[in-house]
Copies of this chain bind each other. A is one copy, B any other.
Amino acid sequence: MASIKVLVTGAAGQIAYSLLHSIAKGDVFGQDQTITLVMLDIPPMATVLKGVEMELEDCALPLLKEVISTTDYKEAFSDIDVAILVGAMPRREGMERKDLLKANAGIFQGQGKALDQYAKKSVKVLVVGNPANTNCLIASKCAPSIPKKNFSCLTRLDQNRAQSQVASRVGVAANSVCNVIIWGNHSSTQYPDVRHALVCTADGTVSPVPAVVKDDAWLNGDFITTVQKRGGAVIAARKLSSAMSAAKAIGDHVRDWWFGINNKVCCSGASKLWTSMGVYSDGSHYGIPEDIIYSFPVTIQNRDYTIVDGLEINDASRARMDETAKELVEERDAALQFLSSS
């Protein structure tokens, strides 16, 4: 099997520190896949990157063929099979929202162009750095030679959080819950939807989550706000943002995209197994506007996703799905005006 080349940006940061080892040991691309790992960060982090490279070497990992630390786009993006774009400008105190959008529009314009110019045309791109959906849209727009379907943003962390909240409430293992949906933006307007989710209870039966939880007030109230605000709650406790769980979710997202969705326990009783990914909306699904990156439930086959259509949407869901779409349209319109013409 040919070796693959995987790029991680923001490689000197905390999420990457958890993620790189996981990729290098075979958790994401399998135990038979050798990997060249490319680590990109900004020039002030070059020495830290070297330290991470030393540690990866010290892990003595048989699948890790080569590590390339770089601060140069051409070296970073050339011939890559997978790009995991973790690095972004974080919001600093006193920073206006538009300044944040502008800074990140610049970064993802540059990375989109680098993808367009240097990466394999089959490259799979996952954007993690926030605002992830809009950064992903900009990267895609700036890489017209790469299919739009090769771009996605991360909402799997939100999905894992939602899945775990339900599992804990019901008293089952986390993988006994499936088909949770995250709709929309990876932001506090996201809509974690368990109306179509399933749970395997101890006796082996597969049932709709609402029928097992039997508490619609919780499912439509505290459950949703807990998931929406979980990132902030972790920061409040850890004094640092989520890294371990973000890296885990990135691994889940990319592995499912690569190999298809797997669930050993649940959903043998489900007609269809899906996961949530932020993907390009062409306007033909669930009345969501076109030309935004929106998180939908998707099935995956042959490294290609298909949006799950035909799910019944009630009025409350409709309103939440539209609200998060509206935010994404606004983000897009604000970000696009910052794209430089160069």
> Are B62 and A157 within 8 A (Cβ)?
no
Q: Is A211 an interface residue (CB 8 A)?
A: no
Q: Which residues of B contact A230 (CB under 8 A)?
A: 54, 58
Query: Which of A55, A60, A62, A64 has most B Cβ within 10 Å?
Result: A60
Q: List B contacts of A58 (CB < 8 A).
A: 157, 160-161, 164, 230, 234, 242, 245, 248
Q: A62: which of B48, B234, B265 is its contact (CB, 8 Å)?
A: B265
Q: Contact check, B168 vs A237: say whether CB atoms are below 8 A apart.
A: no
Complex interface residues of chain A between 216 and 247 (CB less than 8 A to chain B): 230, 233-240, 242-245
- Interface centre among A47, A55, A174, A245, by most B CB within 10 Å? A55
Number of copies: 2
Is A78 interfacial (CB-CB < 8 Å)?
no
Bin chain A's interface residue count. 35 or more
With A and B bound together, what is the CA distance between A197 and B20 in angstroms? 29
Q: Does A288 contact B (CB under 8 A)?
A: no
Also in contact, A60 and B175, with CB within 8 A (given A51-B238, A54-B230, A237-B50): yes
Contact B237 A62 (CB under 8 A): no
CA distance A160 to B56 in the complex (A): 11
Give the residue of B60, B160, B248 whose beta carbon is less than 8 angstroms from that of A174: B60
Is A279 interfacial (CB 8 A cutoff)?
Answer: no
Nearest CB to that of A233 among chain B residues?
Answer: B54
Chain B proximity mask over A52-66: 1 for CB below 8 Å, otherwise 0: 101111111111110
In whole Å, how far is A290's beta carbon from the nearest beta carbon of chain B? Answer: 32
A73 within 8 Å of B (CB atoms): no
Contact B234 A48 (CB under 8 A): no
A248: min CB distance to chain B, Å: 4
Q: A175 touches which one: B47, B62, B242 (CB < 8 A)?
A: B62
Contact indicator B48/A242 (Cβ below 8 Å): no
Question: Which residues of the other chain, B, contact A56 by a CB distance below 8 angstroms?
Answer: 244-245
Within 8 A of B (CB), among A121-171: 157, 160-161, 163-164, 167-168
| A-B pairs with lowest CB-CB distance, top 6 | A51-B237, A51-B238, A60-B174, A58-B245, A62-B175, A60-B160
A binding-site residues for B, Cβ under 8 Å: 17-18, 20-21, 25, 47-48, 50-52, 54-65, 157, 160-161, 163-164, 167-168, 173-176, 230, 233-240, 242-245, 248-249, 264-265
Given contacts A60-B175, A62-B264, 10 further A-B contacts (CB under 8 A): A17-B243, A17-B244, A20-B244, A21-B244, A52-B238, A54-B233, A55-B245, A58-B234, A62-B175, A64-B174
